[in-house]
Structure 1
């Protein structure tokens, strides 16, 4: 590919995912508040990520081997389209099956995207004689700039549609860290969560159209590629080979083992923001119609910082940014434990969302790029591990969403964050040791 063609394909992938996750991310932000009866929303989200864990082990190589990176992406998007359709009648009988189908396609979707961008980064680095790690960082930063901007468009849609003519003034005395999930469906909290069927159908229809547009964009404009690493005949068979290679990669790589906590935390912190902050803090205190507006602030900060950090990392490395993310998230989680949210605290909601988005930008871009650069020779097994452990973080968080008070969830977040800090420090030590050893070998 020429440099122009490579950049065009990076743009097409980014644009397609923007349309797709304009629908999915915003619908996911609403699940625990909108589909709260019998825990349908939380259980559907947990089902997605449990299924993704299974899918990571068996399907990515098989699907990509059969369809190629290009066609894997739009075919996997069909599961997201079905999920949007299920939200028109959100009961367990529709949401759980559609969540399973989405989860099965999600692992090949993300593996194909990561493999595609990593390969483009390798080619572009060779064509421009630039550092491979820096180019991969730049491409992932550009991708997440578009990807995180989906928070803006989708959340703007939900807030504009759901905003009532008159705002209900409800008590906020049990919101925040003391929020009990049962408060969403009983007592004087319910009018902050309820929406008319017409408004729900309008939002679902817009999101469905956005997901369909995503599949069309990728199908028409994305170029097929042939990976530098040729696929064997085993890649075309549905077998546990990836399961074996994933765990072989896990066992054989101390760095991969040490990346498990921070990868789990990546899923956990996103699930907390989308499932707990939106419900226990925003919807409970301000009403569901404010979820979109505040999450737009989160998305804007995430998008800007994604591209900014993706460019700056080539000058200062990964370490300062990971430290920044750990400090911000740790400080916010402690703040959430002691903060009693009120309607008058509107600015605090926006500031907290923006800061969380800034730190999430670091975790998303730098962790993806770290996997891509450290494990470039075995990208599929590495990214399968990435999706497996991140999905576990999502799944567990949504599974206990309706059973634990918010303060207990925050303690869990802080515990996993602490383990992530320790293990990431070990990772950087191992990488430094490996670089020093390589330099000693190559020096005269």
Structure 2
């Protein structure tokens, strides 16, 4: 197999690995607040809105870059770090089999560290296995494979919880044992990824002795940490950070808040709980469709990334307006007994599921183009750049999970409308800078 075939195979394996891992993890995030509200224990006091993104975890997000940068240099250590990272994800899911408050929040902190490492590694692996010509295609393919996780996981939830008004301990344990096994399958796939051929010559690669590798790795880690801080204040990253911040807000909304809202709507009947899974399926369909289409059409798209991001904003605005009309404002914070408030229109399951699809489609528009532009603009510093990406996204996702405990639905939607508009404009400017840079390069080469 040639180098190009090898790197493309790495992208496919990377996508399938994330698909299995996040079939378990995203399904867990989608249902955990509902599970917690149905958990009968006076010893447990936790909130699904604040578990995944806690304050200590945010602080450790950027600090984990040091360890990541070092192990990216030595492949055996990189594999070992991924192993521990994936164990943390599986451990977080397994914790729900019988949760305690202290294990709940402790696991949340550790899975935050693991997420910082895993997503930064994903961005780096995506970049080093792509060229300028294939980064857009590979981003789309990876995103489509990843989002199959929403499809498969939530199909299981839909059938497992169909007709269940209350989620029993047995229901919870059966689901989370299954999700734990699925996450372990995803963990295994990551070890099939082959490291691309290094660009350095053999003589350059053999200059350092094994004893010097640790010292070189430590220096590289410190340099990468400094580079991440420098990148975070560049004009390009500051512009993209607004768009990245928006993806953090809407990630929280569609992965945790919206499913909880649907499950709380007693006017959806006895199947309201199983509709959480069906909603996740439609979000996944939108994500898969967007990732696949934008990946396949990347080379044919002569208008750049801006039209796709604009489509994402319009799609989300339509979804937000329909959700505002279809879901009661107090649904995100309603007690388990049901939603006492009323929506502006008669609640419709069909409209709720349409909004789920639109949320997924719009999210794929933003994320595929952000992955593409960050990988293109910061090719030489992909690990620090994607660490900043993850850091900004984590902060805003954590902020959204925090205010989701207190704000009514219409205020949450308003925040996303404002930040989404600003993020779209800032992305336009960043893309214009890329186009201008290309033109200047082409002109200089004449």
TM-score (norm 2): 0.84
Q: Call closer, same or farther: CA 1:348–1:335 in 2, change over 3 Å.
A: closer
Q: Give the 3-state SS of the residue equivalent to 1:268 in structure 2.
A: helix
In the alignment, the residues of structure 2 paired with residue 51 and residue 153 of structure 1 have an alpha-carbon distance, to the nearest angstrom, of 33
Does residue 1:92 correspond to 2:101, yes or no?
A: yes
Give 1:75-90 correspondences, 5 Å limit.
Answer: 75-90=84-99
- Structure-1 residue corresponding to 2:40: none
1:129-182 deviations in Å (ceiling 9; x for gaps): xxx23x1111121111111001011111122222226xxxxxxxxxxxxxxxxx
In the alignment, the residues of structure 2 paired with residue 227 and residue 257 of structure 1 have an alpha-carbon distance, to the nearest angstrom, of 31
Point out the more displaced range, 327-336 or 268-277: 327-336
1:34-67 deviations in Å (ceiling 9; x for gaps): 2247442122112286256344543321343454
- Structure-2 residue corresponding to 1:249: 231
- Structure-2 residue corresponding to 1:212: 184
Instruction: Point out the structure with the larger helix share.
Output: 1
Unaligned runs of 5+ residues in structure 1 are 123-131, 166-191
Point out the more displaced range, 74-83 or 335-344: 335-344
Point out the more displaced range, 279-288 or 100-109: 279-288
- Structure-1 residue corresponding to 2:16: 15
- Structure-2 residue corresponding to 1:430: 433
- Structure-2 residue corresponding to 1:315: 300
**What displacement does 1:324 show?**
0.3
In the alignment, the residues of structure 1 paired with residue 160 and residue 253 of structure 2 have an alpha-carbon distance, to the nearest angstrom, of 24
Q: Call closer, same or farther: CA 1:161–1:366 in 2, change over 3 Å.
A: same
Q: Call closer, same or farther: CA 1:223–1:439 in 2, change over 3 Å.
A: closer
User: Does the 8 Å CA contact 2:262/2:276 hold for their aligned counterparts?
Assistant: no
Moved over 6 A (4+): 229-232
User: Does the 8 Å CA contact 1:249/1:256 hold for their aligned counterparts?
Assistant: yes
User: Does the 8 Å CA contact 1:301/1:354 hold for their aligned counterparts?
Assistant: yes
Question: Paired residues, what number?
Answer: 404
**What displacement does 1:70 show?**
4.8
In the alignment, the residues of structure 2 paired with residue 391 and residue 108 of structure 1 have an alpha-carbon distance, to the nearest angstrom, of 12
Q: Give the 3-state SS of the residue equivalent to 1:362 in structure 2.
A: helix
**What displacement does 1:119 show?**
1.3
In the alignment, the residues of structure 2 paired with residue 83 and residue 225 of structure 1 have an alpha-carbon distance, to the nearest angstrom, of 31
In the alignment, the residues of structure 2 paired with residue 315 and residue 441 of structure 1 have an alpha-carbon distance, to the nearest angstrom, of 25
**What displacement does 1:26 show?**
0.4
User: Does the 8 Å CA contact 1:40/1:95 hold for their aligned counterparts?
Assistant: no
User: Does the 8 Å CA contact 1:333/1:410 hold for their aligned counterparts?
Assistant: yes
1:300-326 deviations in Å (ceiling 9; x for gaps): 121122011112132222111011001
Give 1:223-234 correspondences, 5 Å limit.
Answer: 223-225=194-196, 227-228=198-199, 233-234=215-216
- Structure-2 residue corresponding to 1:103: 112
Give 1:120-135 correspondences, 5 Å limit.
Answer: 120-122=129-131, 132-133=132-133, 135=134
Q: Call closer, same or farther: CA 1:430–1:3 in 2, change over 3 Å.
A: closer
**What displacement does 1:389 show?**
0.8
Q: Call closer, same or farther: CA 1:82–1:430 in 2, change over 3 Å.
A: same
User: Does the 8 Å CA contact 2:305/2:431 hold for their aligned counterparts?
Assistant: no
Q: Call closer, same or farther: CA 1:278–1:112 in 2, change over 3 Å.
A: same
In the alignment, the residues of structure 2 paired with residue 360 and residue 71 of structure 1 have an alpha-carbon distance, to the nearest angstrom, of 32
User: Does the 8 Å CA contact 2:326/2:352 hold for their aligned counterparts?
Assistant: no
Give 1:359-438 correspondences, 5 Å limit.
Answer: 359-438=362-441
- Structure-2 residue corresponding to 1:296: 281
Q: Call closer, same or farther: CA 1:403–1:235 in 2, change over 3 Å.
A: farther
User: Does the 8 Å CA contact 2:249/2:397 hold for their aligned counterparts?
Assistant: yes
In the alignment, the residues of structure 2 paired with residue 54 and residue 292 of structure 1 have an alpha-carbon distance, to the nearest angstrom, of 33
1:98-147 deviations in Å (ceiling 9; x for gaps): 1111111212212222211221113xxxxxxxxx23x1111121111111
- Structure-1 residue corresponding to 2:123: 114
- Structure-2 residue corresponding to 1:172: none
| CA root-mean-square deviation | 2.4
1:384-442 deviations in Å (ceiling 9; x for gaps): 11111111121111122212111111111112112212212221232233223323322
Q: Call closer, same or farther: CA 1:58–1:288 in 2, change over 3 Å.
A: farther
Q: Give the 3-state SS of the residue equivalent to 2:404 in structure 1.
A: coil
Q: Give the 3-state SS of the residue equivalent to 1:314 in structure 2.
A: coil
